[in-house]
Chain A
Amino acid sequence: MNNPISGMLTAILMILFLSSCLPQHSVILVTDPDGRIGKAEVITAGGKQLLEKPGDMTRVSGSPASPSSVMTAPPDYIAVTFAEAMAAQPLPPKKFILFFATGTTTMSTESHAAITAILTVCKKRGVTSIRISGHTDATGTDQFNEKLARERALLIRDLLLQNGINPDLITVSSHGKGNPLVPTPDGVAEPRNRRVEVIVQ
Protein backbone atom coordinates (compact mmCIF):
# COMPACT_ATOMS: atom_id res chain seq x y z
CA MET A 1 0.00 0.00 0.00
CA ASN A 2 2.94 2.28 -0.35
CA ASN A 3 2.69 3.18 -4.00
CA PRO A 4 1.17 6.57 -4.89
CA ILE A 5 -1.79 5.14 -6.80
CA SER A 6 -3.13 3.08 -3.95
CA GLY A 7 -2.51 6.04 -1.62
CA MET A 8 -4.63 8.19 -3.89
CA LEU A 9 -7.31 5.50 -4.09
CA THR A 10 -7.44 5.34 -0.32
CA ALA A 11 -7.82 9.10 -0.17
CA ILE A 12 -10.65 9.04 -2.73
CA LEU A 13 -12.39 6.23 -0.86
CA MET A 14 -12.01 8.18 2.38
CA ILE A 15 -13.58 11.25 0.79
CA LEU A 16 -16.44 9.18 -0.66
CA PHE A 17 -16.95 7.51 2.71
CA LEU A 18 -16.97 10.80 4.57
CA SER A 19 -19.27 12.51 2.12
CA SER A 20 -21.73 9.62 2.27
CA CYS A 21 -21.97 10.13 6.03
CA LEU A 22 -22.54 13.85 5.88
CA PRO A 23 -26.03 15.16 5.24
CA GLN A 24 -26.34 16.41 1.71
CA HIS A 25 -28.29 19.46 0.68
CA SER A 26 -29.53 20.08 -2.85
CA VAL A 27 -30.47 23.29 -4.61
CA ILE A 28 -32.27 23.13 -7.96
CA LEU A 29 -33.23 25.98 -10.26
CA VAL A 30 -36.59 25.57 -12.01
CA THR A 31 -38.72 27.62 -14.39
CA ASP A 32 -41.13 29.98 -12.63
CA PRO A 33 -44.90 30.01 -13.37
CA ASP A 34 -44.46 32.82 -15.93
CA GLY A 35 -42.02 30.68 -17.89
CA ARG A 36 -39.06 32.82 -16.82
CA ILE A 37 -35.83 31.49 -15.49
CA GLY A 38 -33.72 33.40 -13.00
CA LYS A 39 -30.33 32.64 -11.56
CA ALA A 40 -29.09 31.39 -8.23
CA GLU A 41 -25.65 31.22 -6.75
CA VAL A 42 -24.83 28.71 -4.03
CA ILE A 43 -21.93 29.80 -1.85
CA THR A 44 -19.99 27.86 0.79
CA ALA A 45 -16.74 28.64 2.61
CA GLY A 46 -14.95 26.56 -0.04
CA GLY A 47 -16.41 27.98 -3.25
CA LYS A 48 -19.54 28.72 -5.24
CA GLN A 49 -21.63 27.46 -8.11
CA LEU A 50 -23.99 29.34 -10.41
CA LEU A 51 -27.28 27.77 -11.46
CA GLU A 52 -28.66 29.32 -14.64
CA LYS A 53 -30.53 26.71 -16.67
CA PRO A 54 -33.79 24.98 -15.71
CA GLY A 55 -32.98 21.78 -13.82
CA ASP A 56 -29.49 22.91 -12.82
CA MET A 57 -28.60 21.37 -9.47
CA THR A 58 -25.70 21.60 -7.06
CA ARG A 59 -25.16 19.74 -3.81
CA VAL A 60 -23.56 20.86 -0.57
CA SER A 61 -22.19 18.60 2.11
CA GLY A 62 -20.10 20.05 4.88
CA SER A 63 -18.80 23.57 5.15
CA PRO A 64 -15.20 23.57 3.92
CA ALA A 65 -16.13 21.80 0.68
CA SER A 66 -17.14 23.68 -2.44
CA PRO A 67 -20.67 23.02 -3.75
CA SER A 68 -20.62 20.14 -6.24
CA SER A 69 -20.25 20.95 -9.91
CA VAL A 70 -23.56 21.72 -11.60
CA MET A 71 -25.51 18.72 -12.88
CA THR A 72 -29.03 18.24 -14.19
CA ALA A 73 -31.42 17.21 -11.43
CA PRO A 74 -32.89 13.76 -12.13
CA PRO A 75 -36.67 14.23 -12.71
CA ASP A 76 -37.51 11.25 -10.51
CA TYR A 77 -35.49 12.72 -7.63
CA ILE A 78 -37.52 15.96 -7.97
CA ALA A 79 -40.82 14.09 -8.21
CA VAL A 80 -40.18 11.92 -5.16
CA THR A 81 -38.47 14.42 -2.88
CA PHE A 82 -40.56 17.50 -3.54
CA ALA A 83 -44.04 16.01 -4.13
CA GLU A 84 -45.54 17.28 -0.85
CA ALA A 85 -43.82 20.68 -0.92
CA MET A 86 -44.95 21.25 -4.52
CA ALA A 87 -48.53 20.25 -3.67
CA ALA A 88 -48.51 22.82 -0.83
CA GLN A 89 -47.50 25.74 -3.07
CA PRO A 90 -49.91 28.64 -2.63
CA LEU A 91 -52.10 29.62 -5.58
CA PRO A 92 -50.59 32.48 -7.56
CA PRO A 93 -52.01 35.77 -6.31
CA LYS A 94 -54.66 37.58 -8.36
CA LYS A 95 -53.86 41.16 -9.25
CA PHE A 96 -56.34 43.96 -10.01
CA ILE A 97 -55.46 47.46 -11.16
CA LEU A 98 -57.73 50.46 -10.64
CA PHE A 99 -57.03 53.75 -12.41
CA PHE A 100 -57.56 57.35 -11.28
CA ALA A 101 -58.01 60.82 -12.76
CA THR A 102 -54.94 63.03 -12.52
CA GLY A 103 -54.20 64.51 -9.11
CA THR A 104 -57.36 63.06 -7.54
CA THR A 105 -58.85 60.06 -5.81
CA THR A 106 -61.55 59.82 -8.50
CA MET A 107 -61.62 56.32 -9.90
CA SER A 108 -62.21 55.65 -13.60
CA THR A 109 -65.63 54.21 -14.50
CA GLU A 110 -64.18 50.84 -15.54
CA SER A 111 -62.44 50.51 -12.21
CA HIS A 112 -65.78 50.30 -10.38
CA ALA A 113 -66.32 46.98 -12.16
CA ALA A 114 -62.93 45.84 -10.87
CA ILE A 115 -64.14 46.37 -7.30
CA THR A 116 -66.96 43.93 -7.99
CA ALA A 117 -64.47 41.48 -9.47
CA ILE A 118 -62.27 41.76 -6.37
CA LEU A 119 -65.22 41.02 -4.10
CA THR A 120 -66.19 38.01 -6.23
CA VAL A 121 -62.69 36.53 -6.03
CA CYS A 122 -62.61 37.13 -2.27
CA LYS A 123 -65.83 35.16 -1.89
CA LYS A 124 -64.67 32.35 -4.17
CA ARG A 125 -61.29 31.50 -2.71
CA GLY A 126 -60.12 31.26 0.86
CA VAL A 127 -58.46 34.66 1.00
CA THR A 128 -55.61 35.11 3.46
CA SER A 129 -54.38 38.55 2.46
CA ILE A 130 -55.32 41.57 0.38
CA ARG A 131 -52.43 43.90 -0.37
CA ILE A 132 -53.40 47.37 -1.56
CA SER A 133 -50.73 49.66 -2.95
CA GLY A 134 -51.29 53.23 -4.12
CA HIS A 135 -49.30 54.81 -6.96
CA THR A 136 -49.10 58.10 -8.84
CA ASP A 137 -47.46 59.26 -12.03
CA ALA A 138 -44.22 61.26 -11.98
CA THR A 139 -45.79 64.76 -12.00
CA GLY A 140 -45.98 66.73 -8.75
CA THR A 141 -43.77 66.71 -5.69
CA ASP A 142 -42.74 63.52 -3.93
CA GLN A 143 -44.55 64.62 -0.81
CA PHE A 144 -47.80 65.25 -2.68
CA ASN A 145 -47.52 61.96 -4.55
CA GLU A 146 -46.82 59.97 -1.43
CA LYS A 147 -49.96 61.41 0.18
CA LEU A 148 -52.12 61.07 -2.95
CA ALA A 149 -51.02 57.46 -3.48
CA ARG A 150 -51.91 56.66 0.12
CA GLU A 151 -55.31 58.34 -0.16
CA ARG A 152 -56.06 56.34 -3.31
CA ALA A 153 -55.11 53.10 -1.56
CA LEU A 154 -57.17 53.96 1.52
CA LEU A 155 -60.20 54.76 -0.64
CA ILE A 156 -60.08 51.26 -2.10
CA ARG A 157 -59.54 49.84 1.36
CA ASP A 158 -62.67 51.61 2.62
CA LEU A 159 -64.71 50.35 -0.35
CA LEU A 160 -63.68 46.78 0.46
CA LEU A 161 -64.45 47.25 4.17
CA GLN A 162 -67.90 48.63 3.30
CA ASN A 163 -68.50 45.41 1.41
CA GLY A 164 -67.77 43.23 4.40
CA ILE A 165 -64.12 42.34 3.86
CA ASN A 166 -62.31 41.48 7.09
CA PRO A 167 -59.95 44.40 7.93
CA ASP A 168 -57.36 41.97 9.36
CA LEU A 169 -56.68 40.66 5.87
CA ILE A 170 -55.80 44.05 4.41
CA THR A 171 -52.42 45.75 4.28
CA VAL A 172 -51.99 49.16 2.67
CA SER A 173 -48.86 50.80 1.29
CA SER A 174 -48.08 53.99 -0.57
CA HIS A 175 -45.45 53.88 -3.28
CA GLY A 176 -45.82 57.53 -4.31
CA LYS A 177 -44.48 57.67 -7.87
CA GLY A 178 -42.36 54.59 -7.12
CA ASN A 179 -42.73 51.23 -8.83
CA PRO A 180 -44.58 52.62 -11.91
CA LEU A 181 -46.44 50.39 -14.35
CA VAL A 182 -44.89 52.37 -17.21
CA PRO A 183 -41.50 53.87 -16.28
CA THR A 184 -41.22 57.55 -17.28
CA PRO A 185 -38.83 60.42 -16.58
CA ASP A 186 -39.83 62.84 -13.81
CA GLY A 187 -42.58 65.32 -14.69
CA VAL A 188 -44.28 63.07 -17.26
CA ALA A 189 -48.04 62.58 -16.91
CA GLU A 190 -48.84 58.92 -17.45
CA PRO A 191 -52.44 57.78 -16.81
CA ARG A 192 -51.43 54.13 -16.46
CA ASN A 193 -49.29 54.96 -13.43
CA ARG A 194 -52.14 56.71 -11.57
CA ARG A 195 -53.42 53.57 -10.00
CA VAL A 196 -54.05 51.30 -7.08
CA GLU A 197 -53.00 47.68 -7.28
CA VAL A 198 -54.91 45.13 -5.29
CA ILE A 199 -53.31 41.73 -4.86
CA VAL A 200 -55.60 39.05 -3.52
CA GLN A 201 -53.87 36.00 -2.11
Chain B
Amino acid sequence: MKYYVFCLLIFVLTGSTAYAVQGDPVGHIQTLNGHVSILRGNSTLPGSVGTPIYHSDLIRTAKPGAAGIVLTDGTTISLGPNSELSISSYLFDPKEERFSLAVRMVKGTFVYLSGLIGKLSPNAVQLSIPDATISARGTKLLVEVQDN
Protein backbone atom coordinates (compact mmCIF):
# COMPACT_ATOMS: atom_id res chain seq x y z
CA MET B 1 0.00 0.00 0.00
CA LYS B 2 2.81 2.36 0.93
CA TYR B 3 4.50 1.48 -2.32
CA TYR B 4 1.30 2.21 -4.18
CA VAL B 5 0.96 5.63 -2.54
CA PHE B 6 4.58 6.35 -3.33
CA CYS B 7 4.05 5.41 -6.98
CA LEU B 8 0.93 7.53 -7.12
CA LEU B 9 2.86 10.45 -5.67
CA ILE B 10 5.60 10.01 -8.25
CA PHE B 11 2.93 9.79 -10.89
CA VAL B 12 1.26 12.98 -9.69
CA LEU B 13 4.55 14.82 -9.57
CA THR B 14 5.68 13.67 -12.99
CA GLY B 15 2.30 13.17 -14.62
CA SER B 16 2.51 16.03 -17.05
CA THR B 17 5.73 14.87 -18.62
CA ALA B 18 5.03 11.17 -18.30
CA TYR B 19 5.24 10.66 -22.02
CA ALA B 20 8.65 12.19 -22.34
CA VAL B 21 10.30 9.99 -19.78
CA GLN B 22 12.35 7.20 -21.25
CA GLY B 23 11.12 3.93 -19.88
CA ASP B 24 7.42 4.60 -20.30
CA PRO B 25 5.72 2.62 -23.04
CA VAL B 26 5.29 4.57 -26.28
CA GLY B 27 2.33 2.39 -27.22
CA HIS B 28 0.70 -1.03 -27.14
CA ILE B 29 -0.06 -3.94 -29.41
CA GLN B 30 -3.79 -3.63 -30.10
CA THR B 31 -4.45 -6.39 -32.64
CA LEU B 32 -2.55 -9.55 -33.35
CA ASN B 33 -2.70 -12.46 -35.71
CA GLY B 34 -0.28 -15.39 -35.84
CA HIS B 35 3.14 -15.00 -34.28
CA VAL B 36 4.52 -11.60 -33.29
CA SER B 37 7.74 -11.01 -31.38
CA ILE B 38 9.48 -8.00 -29.89
CA LEU B 39 13.24 -7.68 -29.94
CA ARG B 40 14.27 -5.55 -26.95
CA GLY B 41 18.01 -5.22 -26.39
CA ASN B 42 19.29 -8.76 -26.66
CA SER B 43 16.08 -10.52 -25.71
CA THR B 44 13.19 -11.62 -27.86
CA LEU B 45 9.78 -11.47 -26.21
CA PRO B 46 6.50 -12.87 -27.49
CA GLY B 47 3.96 -10.17 -28.35
CA SER B 48 0.29 -10.41 -27.43
CA VAL B 49 -2.66 -8.03 -27.36
CA GLY B 50 -1.90 -5.37 -24.75
CA THR B 51 1.89 -5.88 -24.78
CA PRO B 52 3.53 -2.48 -24.23
CA ILE B 53 5.95 -1.16 -26.86
CA TYR B 54 9.01 0.80 -25.80
CA HIS B 55 11.29 3.16 -27.64
CA SER B 56 13.82 1.22 -29.79
CA ASP B 57 11.84 -2.06 -29.70
CA LEU B 58 11.91 -3.98 -32.95
CA ILE B 59 8.49 -5.46 -33.68
CA ARG B 60 8.56 -8.47 -35.94
CA THR B 61 5.71 -10.47 -37.45
CA ALA B 62 6.06 -14.04 -38.71
CA LYS B 63 4.45 -15.43 -41.82
CA PRO B 64 1.57 -15.86 -41.36
CA GLY B 65 1.29 -13.04 -38.85
CA ALA B 66 0.08 -9.47 -38.47
CA ALA B 67 -0.09 -6.84 -35.75
CA GLY B 68 -1.65 -3.47 -35.12
CA ILE B 69 0.02 -1.05 -32.72
CA VAL B 70 -1.25 2.17 -31.21
CA LEU B 71 1.10 4.85 -29.89
CA THR B 72 0.11 7.04 -26.95
CA ASP B 73 -0.63 9.99 -29.26
CA GLY B 74 -3.12 7.86 -31.22
CA THR B 75 -0.86 7.10 -34.18
CA THR B 76 -1.66 3.61 -35.47
CA ILE B 77 0.60 1.38 -37.52
CA SER B 78 -0.28 -2.10 -38.64
CA LEU B 79 2.17 -4.68 -39.94
CA GLY B 80 1.41 -7.44 -42.42
CA PRO B 81 3.24 -10.80 -42.43
CA ASN B 82 7.04 -11.06 -42.43
CA SER B 83 7.41 -7.41 -41.41
CA GLU B 84 9.76 -5.51 -39.12
CA LEU B 85 9.46 -2.05 -37.64
CA SER B 86 10.94 0.03 -34.86
CA ILE B 87 10.00 3.32 -33.22
CA SER B 88 13.39 5.06 -33.34
CA SER B 89 12.27 8.35 -31.85
CA TYR B 90 9.18 9.26 -29.86
CA LEU B 91 8.37 12.39 -27.93
CA PHE B 92 4.81 13.43 -27.10
CA ASP B 93 4.77 16.37 -24.74
CA PRO B 94 1.83 18.58 -25.77
CA LYS B 95 2.20 21.00 -22.87
CA GLU B 96 5.74 21.94 -23.88
CA GLU B 97 4.81 21.53 -27.53
CA ARG B 98 7.60 19.06 -28.02
CA PHE B 99 6.89 16.34 -30.53
CA SER B 100 8.88 13.79 -32.43
CA LEU B 101 8.02 10.55 -34.15
CA ALA B 102 10.45 8.53 -36.22
CA VAL B 103 9.45 5.09 -37.44
CA ARG B 104 11.86 2.77 -39.19
CA MET B 105 10.17 0.33 -41.54
CA VAL B 106 12.73 -2.40 -42.16
CA LYS B 107 10.75 -4.81 -44.32
CA GLY B 108 7.23 -5.94 -45.03
CA THR B 109 3.88 -4.21 -45.45
CA PHE B 110 2.51 -1.38 -43.33
CA VAL B 111 -0.54 0.80 -42.90
CA TYR B 112 0.32 4.08 -41.16
CA LEU B 113 -2.33 6.46 -39.80
CA SER B 114 -1.18 9.67 -38.18
CA GLY B 115 -2.22 10.58 -34.64
CA LEU B 116 -1.95 13.74 -32.56
CA ILE B 117 1.76 14.27 -33.27
CA GLY B 118 0.97 14.31 -36.98
CA LYS B 119 -1.89 16.70 -36.33
CA LEU B 120 -0.16 19.11 -33.94
CA SER B 121 3.30 19.06 -35.51
CA PRO B 122 3.25 17.58 -39.02
CA ASN B 123 6.94 18.25 -39.60
CA ALA B 124 7.87 16.17 -36.56
CA VAL B 125 6.88 12.91 -38.26
CA GLN B 126 9.40 10.96 -40.27
CA LEU B 127 9.03 7.45 -41.58
CA SER B 128 12.10 5.79 -42.99
CA ILE B 129 12.41 2.89 -45.39
CA PRO B 130 15.65 1.58 -46.88
CA ASP B 131 17.09 4.27 -49.21
CA ALA B 132 14.34 6.84 -48.54
CA THR B 133 12.55 8.90 -45.93
CA ILE B 134 8.88 9.82 -45.99
CA SER B 135 7.59 13.08 -44.52
CA ALA B 136 3.99 12.27 -43.74
CA ARG B 137 1.85 15.35 -43.19
CA GLY B 138 -1.21 14.18 -41.31
CA THR B 139 -2.37 11.26 -43.33
CA LYS B 140 -2.77 7.60 -44.04
CA LEU B 141 -0.16 5.70 -46.03
CA LEU B 142 0.42 2.20 -47.33
CA VAL B 143 4.07 1.22 -47.47
CA GLU B 144 5.65 -1.90 -48.90
CA VAL B 145 9.33 -2.56 -48.20
CA GLN B 146 10.65 -5.48 -50.21
CA ASP B 147 13.23 -7.69 -48.60
CA ASN B 148 16.69 -8.04 -50.12
The interface of chain A, by Cβ under 8 A from chain B, is 23-33, 36-45, 60-63, 67, 73, 78, 81-91, 93, 126, 128-129, 131, 133, 146, 150, 153-154, 171-176, 178-179, 199, 201
Contacts and interface: CB of A to CB of B under 8 A. Distances in A.
A128 B137 CA distance: 26
B142 A30 contact: yes
A173 B15 contact: yes
Given A25-B129, A174-B95, A179 B144 contact: no
A60 B114 contact: no
B16 A173 contact: yes
A126 B95 CA distance: 29
B78 A85 contact: yes
A90 to B, nearest CB: 4
Contacts of B81: 84
Contact of B133 (A36, A43, A126): A43
A154 B97 CA distance: 21
A28 B142 contact: yes
Contacts of B74: 93, 131, 199, 201
Given A41-B134, A88-B68, 19 more contacts: A23-B130, A23-B148, A25-B132, A26-B142, A29-B140, A32-B139, A44-B132, A60-B132, A81-B109, A85-B108, A88-B78, A89-B31, A90-B31, A90-B76, A129-B28, A178-B94, A201-B28, A201-B30, A201-B74
A93 B30 CA distance: 11
B94 A175 contact: yes
Contacts of B24: 171
B102 interface: no
Query: What does DSSP make chain A's interface, helix, strand, loop or mixed?
Result: mixed
B120 A179 contact: yes
B30 A128 contact: yes
Contacts of B129: 25, 27, 60
B44 interface: no
Contact of B78 (A41, A81, A86): A86
Given A25-B143, A85-B110, A128 B131 contact: no
A153 B15 contact: yes
Contacts of A179: 94, 120
Contact of B146 (A23, A36, A67, A172): A23
A88 B79 contact: yes
A60 B105 CA distance: 14
B87 interface: no
B114 A38 contact: yes
Contacts of A44: 131-132
A32 B69 CA distance: 17
Interface in B56-73: 64, 66-70, 72
Given A173-B15, A173-B19, A40 B76 contact: no
Interface string B1-37: 0000000000110011011000010011111110000
Given A25-B146, A90-B76, A173-B16, A43 B95 contact: no
